[in-house]
Structure 1
Amino acid sequence: MIIDVHAHWGPWFFTMDVAEANLVTMDRYGIDRAIVSATEAVIYDAPAGNRALAAYLETQDRLLGYVTVNPRRLREAEADLRAYLPGGKFVGVKIHTDYTGSPVGSPQLRDALTLVAESGRPALVHTWGTSVLDLAELCLDIPDLRLIAGHMGADGFRHAIEAAGACDRLYLEPCWSHAPAGRIAEVVSAVDPAQLLFGTDATLIDPSSAFGAVAAAGLTGEIAERVAWRNAAALFQL
């Protein structure tokens, strides 16, 4: 069993044809379930993208959705959280700090994550470099908030180790367009196994990148199962 907690649905502005690639890609790599955000919602118009994804999710049962939230449009965000989270097809919230111009330390993101905490659902938040440390502080400050540090800080993965140690409600997922040797193994050796997840960034990045990086870490037994699916199943109540 494999659950991909960081995936996308819909075309990107890059030169690539991925609109219908989700299930084909999942089959190729043995991914059983994927939790996706609508590309349109992430990079352009959150309500329009969420609406399109909601319609698509009704047509199949292997994908689950993130409600994408723009912290600078909180009235729309609140309406979408009320509209989509109770239906069962959407199991979490996605926030991209860069595309929305809402850095982790901004008041806009704090307000958005307060809304997320009230919803009772986890949120996947884009992190890079030291921003994962700021995300851990927010997680500690907002009661009951559960967060996934997308890319586990990318080149700031050692900061992610510190962040996860500071807040047990912060989870790490590894996808990144680079794969430095030993990155996954170093994180796994230093972080509570209950805080580790698997993500690929498909369909923006081919899952082979994440699969190769995780395989190189040589995970076995309970830790391998936790990363592959058990932690995600518990976090999202699947």
Structure 2
Amino acid sequence: MPIIDVHAHWGPWPYHRDDAANAANAESAESADTNLRLMDRYGIDVQIVSAAEAVTYDAVAGNAALARVLGHDPADNPRLYGYAVVNPNRIEDSAADLRRHLATGRFVGAKIHTHYPGRAIGSPQMREAFALLDELALPLLLHTWDPDVALLPGLLADLPRLRVIVGHAGGDAWREAAHAAAQCDRLYLEHCRTAADAGRVTYAREAGVPVERLLFGTDSTLVDPSVSLGVLRDADFTPPELDRVLWRNAADLFDLPRPS
């Protein structure tokens, strides 16, 4: 069965982790060897990645580095697509940068972190970023970890073209995230996390989130993909449901072909 990973990263992280250390060596020449090695190990066909540098430090520089890795032609790196990271503190710079990378055809969505730029989901800066992505009708992977994830249905009410992947499915606030996604048909849950809380996928489904809005993500290369694959194994999906979660929902959201 094909697998599309909608939450992954390229480049070394500023943490003491084995995969991050490997990435620091492999990506010094701007390669994607670490990503591809982990993808091959776990049978992941396609990843949508953001640059670690763009997430943690400099969005424009990190996006540019990822663009060089992805190349101008899908044949350069056919298994990887990009998220352009948007910094809500520098929205004008990010808007121009985002449009520039979208024009290449190698970036298929945007990524916004909340903790690194220090902007909560309900902040004016985040609202401005959401409005930009609604204008572009671009899928957004949003880092979520706090109860303010419950604000998302209200924030999206006046942004009819914005579709948001709730990254980490709320993290510690996974219950709040589940109820938010049940209220809004443009919120998608993606459950990657270092702590594999038992029952959180089942909780989301019982709260009313349909299987069509559940996505597979790993947080690779920061986290080994085995964690997220274990969460899926324990979620008791039927084969048709697993088919949707592992790749079909992502292909529909991002307008991607079925992985070969």
TM-score interval, smaller chain: over 0.9
Deviation digits for residues 147-171 of structure 1, max 9, x if unmatched?
A: 0100011121111121011110011
CA contact (8 A) 2:142 2:166 kept: yes
2:35 equivalent to 1:22:
yes
Match of 1:87, SS? coil
Of all paired residues, the percent bearing the same amino acid is 53
Q: Write the distance in 1 (CA, Å) between the matches of 2:34 and 2:205.
A: 30
- Superposed, 1:25-44 pairs within 5 Å as 25-44=38-57
Q: 90, 98, 117: which is aligned to 1:73? A: 90
Deviation digits for residues 205-227 of structure 1, max 9, x if unmatched?
A: 00111010110112122211111
Which letter does structure 2 place at the counterpart of 1:48? A
Q: Which moved more, 1:191-200 or 1:11-20?
A: 11-20
Q: 184, 195, 211: which is aligned to 1:167? A: 184
Match of 2:59 in 1: 46
CA contact (8 A) 1:81 1:119 kept: no
Q: TM-score, normalised by structure 1?
A: 0.97
Shift of 1:136: 2.5
Structure 1 unmatched runs, 5+: none
4+ runs deviating over 3 angstroms:
none
May I ask how many residue pairs the two structures share in their alignment? Answer: 238
2:224 equivalent to 1:211:
no
Shift of 1:104: 0.2
- RMSD of aligned alpha carbons: 1.1
Q: Write the distance in 2 (CA, Å) between the matches of 1:187 and 1:85.
A: 32
Match of 1:98 in 2: 115
Shift of 1:43: 0.4
Which letter does structure 2 place at the counterpart of 1:118? E
Q: Write the distance in 1 (CA, Å) between the matches of 2:65 and 2:104.
A: 15
Shift of 1:126: 0.6
Q: 96, 100, 107: which is aligned to 2:124? A: 107
Deviation digits for residues 73-121 of structure 1, max 9, x if unmatched?
A: 0111111121011221100000001101111010000001110111121
2:247 equivalent to 1:229:
yes
CA contact (8 A) 2:82 2:109 kept: yes
Shift of 1:53: 0.4
Structure 2 unmatched runs, 5+: 28-32
Q: TM-score, normalised by structure 2?
A: 0.89
Q: Write the distance in 2 (CA, Å) between the matches of 1:129 and 1:100.
A: 15
Shift of 1:197: 0.4
Match of 1:171, SS? strand
Which letter does structure 2 place at the counterpart of 1:162? H
Q: Write the distance in 2 (CA, Å) between the matches of 1:220 and 1:189.
A: 15
Q: Write the distance in 2 (CA, Å) between the matches of 1:7 and 1:136.
A: 25
